[in-house]
Chains A and B, each alone.
Chain A
Amino acid sequence: MSFSPQIIEHFSNPQNVGELDNPDVTAFVGNPVCGDQIHLYAHIVDDQITKCTFLAYGCTASLATASILTSAICGLHLDAVALIDEAKVIELAGGFTPSQRHCATLGQDVLRSLVHNYRTGSNDGLSGSLQTCQ
């Protein structure tokens, strides 16, 4: 197993950790088997993310991914957030080994859930997608 410099940095010095007071939207993805979980909380003004925080549990790469994504999407318009796919998550994280690859899916799904929840007003917080870590 090896970690990219970005993962090492964000795991060792996580950014934007914690719940946000009165968030405009929350999102959650989790894996029922391996247990990786990412919760996002965001403030949004005119469809633009002004602040985003996270709580995450699981492997080093998933914790770091959550931190990396909250830093990356702050200031972005929701349309741009919705376009962040697995390839972009991998790029932001500086690459994943095969055993860390599930974090790209987790990252993509939690962002899509965030955008979807805001646009549909469904601040479910505990739905999100379920996938199996490989």
Chain B
Amino acid sequence: MAEKPVVAIHKLSKAFGKRPVLENINLEVQQGEILGLLGPSGAGKTTLVKAMIGLETPSSGSVTALETAMPNLKIMEKIGYMTQADALYHDLTALENLQFFARLYGLKKAQRKERIEEAAHLVNLTEHLHKTVSQYSGGMKRRLSICIALLNKPQLLILDEPTVGIDPVLRKSIWETFRSLKDSGTSIIVTTHVMDEAEKCDRLGMIRNGRIIALGSPDELMARCNARTMEEAFLYFGGVNDEN
């Protein structure tokens, strides 16, 4: 592709103490692409996305986002990030949470109002903005979390397990949101351990024990190993290192 990648990871390794968490990761994400990172918990997905946004310093290798070496405060302003935990202030209302993060990204009053309305509409929370977060259901909290990540109109959206604990209907509508964002040019990186969700990504990186064991479009990956389901494919690629 002629365009520069939105995220470029080169020979990234990360160890906590002596324990390696990521080993020799090479990965590129293009503009307007949804990249899924699929793997069991503990595989290193969260560490990988945290390295992308600059919250984790690599032991070796490099991470470039939007053509700038991370971490970089200017670039962080253009990235939306949703953590695995619902990082919300539970004693405040949803609107107050949104106002806070919008201010943090330097949005002016008029802009703030507009962006909050827009993002809340996308995740279907418009009617519940005046409730305190502690009254929210698990699914609503997740949606509010996604909503916050959308406030700064990010060019790159990184979501760590965004649909955990969300019912299928809502999950579908969230994925529709992702696709419409993708169509408007946003690159999205999603981590998941749900196989059928992985199939919805444009490209998929399978992660196990800190390594990318396979990378390609879901169809490509399944064709490569003659698998009928994503689960079979994952077992096939993972089996190489698996003695069981």
State whether these chains interact: no
